[in-house]
Homo-oligomer: A and B are copies of this chain.
Amino acid sequence: MQQVRVALGDRSYDIQVGGALIKTLGASCRELGLGAQCAVISDDQVAPLYAEAALASLRKAGFKPILHTIPAGEASKCLREVGRSYDVLATHRLERKSFIVALGGGVVGDLAGFVASSYLRGVAFVQVPTTLLAQVDSSVGGKVGVNLKAGKNLVGAFYQPRLVLCDLETFSTLPQREYRAGIAEVIKYGVIYDEALFSTLERKMDKVIKRDRKGLAEVVARCCEIKAEVVGQDETESGLRAILNFGHTIGHAIEAISGYGKFLHGEAISIGQVAAARLSERMLGFSSVETARVRELFVRAGLPVQLALKRASIERLMAATRLDKKVAGGEIRFVLARKIGVVEHGHKVPEALVREVVGSMGAQ
């Protein structure tokens, strides 16, 4: 088992990465000194696979867990499901020392985390992410929340979990498309922070994509470590943390204009990261050789790197980027790369250049 400490003062916590960790859930929660009552929040795809193991582990450690299941999918990341979850917790009389376990992917983690942040003004929260994407991204860093009709993640909180258990065995039931989508964030960590990780991925992508457990714990733990380092320096996203959004401004806009669900998040940010690399060439002299390396790694992971858009779609995408949460004073700012492993946030990019790069994504 690998262990990563997220250092955030009195809100510090551990991320454990390894096999069969769900079986240790109860014992780990016991060590944290949490109250007896707890709720496992999961979705109707993950619960049939792993809920019984999680509940059994909690019961064995003396807890009294209940299970609350939401429909799988992004549509559940909404205020209606938040309200339903609150009602379940209140009905079962969860109190301040009670805690919530998120068992599932990013949707479950974001929703359950927001519920935990606000029920009784905050109860303890444990993450058991069951997708690669959730393990390396959404389970680390404390950003929780839900979508509004007007956009994704417009409501939420910064709320840290007390523990994150990344059980690599859960990948065995993950559809290949979802697993690949998680790789998009793994590659991102190499691009934004760690040339050595990027090189490792170049050497081992064929094994990684086959979920070869050898080395996978190290890769997942390294991604968590990078995110933890970044978040530790900037918990509430006033500065450095923005680098985690490399490729995301365009990626989010792609998700928005194509209707959420057509592209998985990881697919949209694969296209977005290649576009961001091209913006970086024009703005910061990022080398075209490195853009090619970035592009090639996404291709080897089986991820899309191109998107041909008609003129009307380009304009809709431009409008969508302006709705991004990272807009301040009406100006869009981008994370751009100097070289693989080194990026900078807060770059203003002329709108005409964004439009040009977006317009040529079909040939990138």
Contact = CB atoms under 8 A, between A and B. Distances in A.
Interface stretch (A179-187, A245-253, A321-329, A335-343): A321-329
Nearest to A143: B121
A87 B122 contact: no
A238 B263 CA distance: 45
A158 B122 contact: yes
Contact of A87 (B86, B149, B323): B149
Q: Is the interface of A mostly helix, strand, loop or mixed?
A: mixed
Interface in A150-191: 150-151, 154-158
Contact of A118 (B96, B151, B156, B328): B156
A331 to B, nearest CB: 10
Interface string A116-155: 0111111000000000000000000001010011110011
A148 B90 contact: yes
A314 interface: no
Contacts of A79: 79, 82-83, 86
Contacts of A151: 90
A327 B157 CA distance: 25
Contacts of A83: 79
Interface in A88-137: 90-91, 93, 95-97, 114, 117-122
A97 B158 contact: no
Nearest to A120: B325
Given A95-B328, A96-B325, A328-B96, A121 B86 contact: no
Q: Which of A114, A118, A145, A325 has the most CB of B within 10 A?
A: A118
Contact of A121 (B82, B90, B158): B158
A86 B148 contact: yes
- Chain A interface size, as a band, is 35 or more
Contacts of A327: 95
A119 B148 CA distance: 10
A247 to B, nearest CB: 21
Nearest to A36: B329
B157 A157 contact: yes
Given A86-B148, A87-B149, A97 B157 contact: no
Nearest to A95: B327
A145 B121 contact: yes
A151 B91 CA distance: 10
Contacts of A95: 325, 327-328
Q: Which of A121, A145, A149, A151 has the most CB of B within 10 A?
A: A121
A86 B155 contact: yes
Contact of A157 (B96, B117, B148): B117
A311 to B, nearest CB: 25
Nearest to A97: B328
A63 B289 CA distance: 48
B156 A121 contact: yes
Contacts of A149: 87, 90
Interface string A33-57: 0010000000000000000000000
8 contacts: A79-B79, A91-B150, A95-B325, A118-B157, A119-B154, A120-B154, A121-B237, A157-B157
Interface of A: 35, 79, 82-83, 86-87, 90-91, 93, 95-97, 114, 117-122, 143, 145, 148-151, 154-158, 236-237, 323, 325, 327-329
